[in-house]
Chain A
Amino acid sequence: MTFFRKLGWWVHRNRREEELGDELQFHLDEEAEEREAEGLPPDRAARAARLHLGNRTVVEEQVHAVWTWTLLEQFVQDIRYATRAMAHNRAFTALTVLSLALGIGANTAIYSFMDAVLMRTLPVRDPASLAVVNWHSREQKRDARGNREFVMHSMSGSTYEDAGAGVTSGIFPFPAFELLQKQSSTVFSAVFAYYPNRGANLLIDGQADVGRGEYVSGDYFRGLGIAPAAGRLLVAGDDHEGAPSVAVVSLAFCQRHFGGADRAPGRSMLINAVPFTIVGVTPPEFFGVDPASAPDFYLPMHANLLVDGAGLNGVSRDQYLAQDYYWVEMMARLRPGVSREEAQTVLAPVFQRWVSGTASTPGERANLPRLTLLSGAGGLENLRRQYSAPLFMLLMVVALILLLACANTANLLLARSAARRREIAVRLSIGAGRVRVMRQLLTESILLASLGGFVGVLLAMWGVRVLTLLLANGREDFTLRAEMNWRVLAATFVVSVLCGTFFGLAPALRSTGVDVVPALKDVRAGTGPNRRRFRWLSLNRALVVAQIAVSLLLLVTAALFVRTLSNLHAVELGFNQQNVLLFEINARQAGHQDPEIATFYANLLRSLAAIPGVQAATLSQASIIGAGRQLDIRVSGRDASGTRILNTGPRFFTTMQIPLLLGRQMDERDQPRSSPVAVVNELFAKLNFGDSNPVGRHITLGGPRPRDMEIVGVSANVRYQGLKEPFVPVVFIPYDQGNWPPIEEMTFALRTTGDPLSFVRAVRDIIHRTDVRVPLTNVKTQVGEIEETINQEIVFAKLCTGFAFLALVIASVGLYGTTSYGVARRTSEIGIRMALGARREKVVLMVLREVLVLAAVGLAIGGPLALGISRVVESFLFGLKPTDPAAMAVSVSVLALAVLVAGYVPARRASRIEPTIALRHE
């Protein structure tokens, strides 16, 4: 049959339907006339004719099927019918769509973050053929002196140690990179190296700023296949000593400082006081090779010696070509047709030969790193390592929410399908097939779910924004950007349809499985045993039980995180975090040199301390929470292993309000040239001097020139390096005594009267007046800094509490609905009971008892489940076990209370039933 004829028929289907009616009527008339002619009376003849024709509607439908695309038409029909039914039941529709939207929306939001972390590919040409070069070694054992026996003697970068699996890292000595450059041309079309610049002072047109950069080898941009947005990118010729100092900047950076992309090339800027000429701009979508960082500028690898070489973060000339200093990361582009495995087979022996030549002891030779190639399509692993586990945890939680929403909707649909029994029975009895009716019911539930999905996506867009704010928590360098893309939307669509099918199937099976005759007679449910109904009622109850169990899981999770957070807040810091302003300054990067830099910091501190409202001011090489410095400390020649260092300025203990137990703190008496002193904390004193008084004793700081220091005071313990760490032995040393370690960036701390942030303007003015080249960074309050370090716990506590509340509401609504429906069905039974003398309290108790039995079963299932599953979150907890009895008790009581409330309302209504009215209804 031609498409156009069908289309024509479909367009004129109304007229054709009329005609078909006429045609069949004519047939009936003819048939009836014939029967009459055979001698039947007219009425019996007409009846016989009708019987002969059979089910006229079915005939019409079958002819109809010839005309058009049946499935499509029926689908349109179903949708229209479903829309009408939904519009008719507004409250029901709104409730289900809302609960589904919350479930689907939460999943979409979390999933879009997962997508951003796990699925994103680098915005470069053919990302699939990129490979990241890594090495892997067995577990690195320490020798008697605590040193690892490994060819990597020192490093700058990250290594990852997985329990049992050994050590993995992506950093290599520069000679290893040169080796691959020379010997990998059969498998790689390009291999390039890069090393992060973790922050530099910039001066552009007299304006000071800070930025992060990346040192890249000559083939970096060619290997990635990037085209410039303006000017040119770095090439091999730029990367050798003595080449002109050139830089490439990111488009965002360029727009911030120069306006359009075309304005940047040819301009110059100072990076850590070294002049660079900007030659080009990277394209807008390019963010380097690490999704976790977006560099502002790219410099040739060799520029590292000029820009960072002087400081601790930089690479010295010796280290640059050393075979045991691991620092550069590498990526390569595979030649067409070469797989990663093949390339690894070729290169692993090459690296093996080279690295065995660098081993100096049998221990090192026994555990050489092996070269491995990982997929480079997604860029570096940093984001994944940081966020995979927490996001996966959140995804599990929201999946539970969705499960709950589905169970709830199924329950509501079950209750409603009971109300629609008559309608369905009518449709079945006039010849609708069971499959056809089920299809229609499923269309309804899938439409509901899709609507929920649609609203859910809207909610998710908002949720992603909120979640981004929560996760970033004011950090400027937060780079995890989630977005709605087709993958996320497709996943949402699939989830919606699956949900619709999932929660629609049971009610659809139930409604179409009715016994037509009693349903049509409208036999009041509950009068007489009916096994089938009982079974479905059990399903109804099973769903409520499941909801209670899932709610308990979510409540326990939330309670565990809230307890974790309160444990963290209750951690004894050892100093007063209130009313302290923190900020960082790096004078060395702005061009200050030894020994003038110490004077610069000391003068600046004096000016800052003079700001009205500042009670005390100090500085230290890092904040207490952010510190992490371990240097060689000896007590009477013995190594005081595990000792941490904090280089501080004068009046550190007054400003931070750390109690001094013995002696004095460091103050103006301690000058760069006066005799070296130190303050130790309680734990250090106890570990190294036992019960004797350490004040007046001497300790030695190792380094290029070992320094003897006199202990002048003992302080209380402080939370060095983070809240979750136990107290560690700490030695506080004046930042300006001796030349080791060199003075670099400094964190200033001001104890203020009133809101610390209201002093930022005054601080900025003073620093600007002192030296315009020095930018102010990382301005925050001490409270804010601590919140940042426990941000994940704060987010988990907030989100999980929200989710648990949501779960509680959904489950309560489900329980309320089921109980109300049960009461409505049993109106006459309750009426009879009351007519026979049952008291109201007794009726309330009767209904409540059923609710409580459901709750008890739910808790009995959910309890062990929660105990089992809470182990998954163990690594996110602090100061408590996943089986924390308090968390469990709180969750159970909250849930029990909600269940009681949800059950009491319908129970009370049941007790108000008037027997006379209830029985008259029969």
Chain B
Amino acid sequence: MSTDRIELLQGTLELLILRTLLPGPSHGHAVAKHIQRTSEDLLQIETGSLYPALHRLEGKGWIAASWELSDKGKRARYYRLTALGRRQLVAEQSKWQAFTRAMGLVLHFTGDEP
């Protein structure tokens, strides 16, 4: 594993999956590729954690799965957001944004030492 890749924080993978599925249904491989591409290859999703995460989200009822034909005409398991998942995404996203803002404030602090 190359060093310039970022280790995922606990729980962030689920948020990433939810966000990736927001525009429309997708299968596991496409989800992984999409995250990798949009993060400019900084985030590499381990297959060993992707599929358990997908099934865990399905278990929570945040996403639903069905077998459909892919663009190339093959049977693939497609995941899509449920209404519950959509609400969850909004909540998690705002939580994450608050977190990154807070981290940024602290890390970029330039004022006088207390």
Contact = CB atoms under 8 A, between A and B. Distances in A.
A22 B47 contact: no
A30 B29 contact: yes
A65 B75 contact: no
A62 B74 contact: no
Interface stretch (B5-13, B55-63, B100-108): B55-63
A62 B48 contact: yes
A63 B55 contact: yes
A26 interface: yes
A54 B51 contact: no
A532 B49 CA distance: 37
A1 B60 contact: yes
Nearest to B28: A27
B15 interface: no
Contact of B29 (A1, A22, A31, A59): A31
B69 to A, nearest CB: 11
Contact of A26 (B49, B61, B76): B76
Interface string A11-26: 0000000011011101
Contact of B51 (A31, A34, A59): A59
Contacts of B28: 23, 26-27
A610 interface: no
B34 interface: no
Nearest to A20: B51
Given A31-B29, A59-B48, A26 B77 contact: yes
A656 B47 CA distance: 98
A59 B47 contact: yes
A635 interface: no
A63 B51 contact: yes
B86 interface: no
Given A26-B74, A31-B29, A66 B55 contact: yes
Interface string A51-84: 0111100110011011100000000000000000
Nearest to B77: A23
Nearest to B56: A66
Contact of A24 (B46, B51, B74): B51
A27 B54 CA distance: 13
A67 B55 contact: yes
B52 interface: yes
Interface in A249-263: none
A53 B47 contact: yes
A664 interface: no
Nearest to A23: B77
Interface string A635-660: 00000000000000000000000000
Interface string B34-49: 0000000000001111
Contacts of A58: 48
Contacts of B56: 1, 66
A431 to B, nearest CB: 12
Contacts of B49: 62
A481 interface: no
Contacts of A912: none
B77 A22 contact: yes
B46 A54 contact: yes
A6 interface: yes
A6 to B, nearest CB: 7
A68 to B, nearest CB: 10
Interface in B41-98: 46-49, 51-52, 55-56, 59-61, 67, 70, 74-77
A27 B55 contact: no
Contact of B75 (A5, A22, A34, A53): A22
Nearest to A60: B51
A62 B33 CA distance: 21
A9 B55 CA distance: 11
Contacts of A884: none
Contacts of B75: 22, 26
A88 B74 CA distance: 44
Contacts of A52: 47
A30 B70 CA distance: 10
A432 to B, nearest CB: 16
Interface residues of A, number: 26
Given A5-B59, A27-B28, A29-B74, A63 B52 contact: yes
Contacts of A9: 59
Contacts of B30: 30
A16 to B, nearest CB: 9
B39 to A, nearest CB: 17
A34 B77 CA distance: 18
A24 B52 CA distance: 12
A66 B59 contact: yes
A115 B30 CA distance: 68
A34 B75 CA distance: 17
A5 B59 CA distance: 7
A19 B77 contact: yes
A27 B47 contact: yes
A82 B91 CA distance: 48
Given A23-B77, A26-B29, A26-B77, A1 B59 contact: yes
Contacts of B60: 1
A382 to B, nearest CB: 65
A53 B45 CA distance: 10
A26 to B, nearest CB: 5
A228 to B, nearest CB: 63
A589 B31 CA distance: 102
B44 to A, nearest CB: 10
A327 B55 CA distance: 81
Contacts of A66: 52, 55-56, 59
A59 B74 CA distance: 22
A667 to B, nearest CB: 103
Contacts of A19: 67, 77
B52 A27 contact: no
A6 B76 contact: no
Contacts of A24: 51
A54 B59 contact: no
Nearest to A33: B72
Contacts of A27: 28-29, 47, 51
B47 A54 contact: yes
Nearest to A56: B47
A477 B56 CA distance: 70
Contacts of A30: 27, 29-30
A34 B47 CA distance: 16
A55 B46 CA distance: 11
A640 B76 CA distance: 111
A58 B47 CA distance: 11
Most chain-B Cβ atoms within 10 A of its Cβ — which of A1, A19, A23, A52? A23
Contacts of A22: 75, 77
Given A27-B29, A66-B55, A54 B74 contact: no
A6 B59 contact: yes
Contacts of B74: 26, 29
A54 B47 CA distance: 8
Contacts of B51: 20, 23-24, 27, 59, 62-63
Interface in A67-107: 67
A55 B33 CA distance: 20
Contacts of A34: 33
A378 to B, nearest CB: 55
Nearest to A65: B52
A52 B76 CA distance: 19
Most chain-B Cβ atoms within 10 A of its Cβ — which of A24, A26, A52? A26
Interface of B: 27-30, 33, 46-49, 51-52, 55-56, 59-61, 67, 70, 74-77
The 3 closest A-B pairs by CB, nearest first: A30-B29, A1-B59, A66-B55
Given A19-B77, A26-B70, 10 more contacts: A1-B60, A6-B59, A26-B28, A26-B29, A30-B27, A55-B48, A62-B48, A62-B52, A66-B56, A67-B55
21 contacts: A1-B56, A5-B59, A9-B59, A19-B67, A19-B77, A22-B75, A22-B77, A23-B28, A24-B51, A26-B27, A26-B29, A26-B74, A27-B29, A30-B30, A34-B33, A55-B48, A59-B48, A59-B51, A63-B51, A66-B59, A67-B55
